[in-house]
Amino acid sequence: MILTGRKVMGGKAEGEALVSTEPVSFYGGVDPVTGCVTEPGHCCCGENITGKVFVFPTGKGSTVGSYVIYRMKKLGTAPAAIINVETEAILATGCVISDIPLVDMLDQNPVDTIKTGMYVKVDADDGKVEID
């Protein structure tokens, strides 16, 4: 299955999907050293996003989140790519400065269509997501 959407940050990546039904804050909600979601009560609390294609509705929280994403990229704990229902500015900035492929506004809701554990290929240059 191929989904088509909007390129926010170009690039190509692939990997196992981790899907969150809830928005994600990278500042205070994700540990940049381990890559684990740490927000208490979050549906992905305890999950590791390192090297995954991280799928979630949108970002939330402080502008510091952009720099947390950048730190994760430098530490090797960042996701391989991010897919959102709709991206907000903090997340977009983080992915741009960190060179992490990011797409949103797909023709099908990725949170409903993609399941955790599926293998996903992201071609953000063309705004395409392939689900195996």
- Cα(106)–Cα(84) distance, integer angstroms: 8
- Cα(111)–Cα(11) distance, integer angstroms: 21
Given 3.60.10.10, 3.40.710.10, 1.10.760.10, 3.50.30.10, which CATH number is that of 2-131? Answer: 3.50.30.10
Amino acid (1-letter code) at residue 25:
S
Residues marked as catalytic: 62
Distances (CA, A) of 107 to 2, 70, 104, 124: 10, 29, 9, 14
- Residue pLDDT, tens place only, 65-98: 999 999 999 999 999 999 999 999 999 999 999 9
- Residue pLDDT, tens place only, 5-16: 999 999 999 999
- Residue pLDDT, tens place only, 23-79: 999 999 999 999 999 999 999 999 999 999 999 999 998 899 999 999 999 999 999
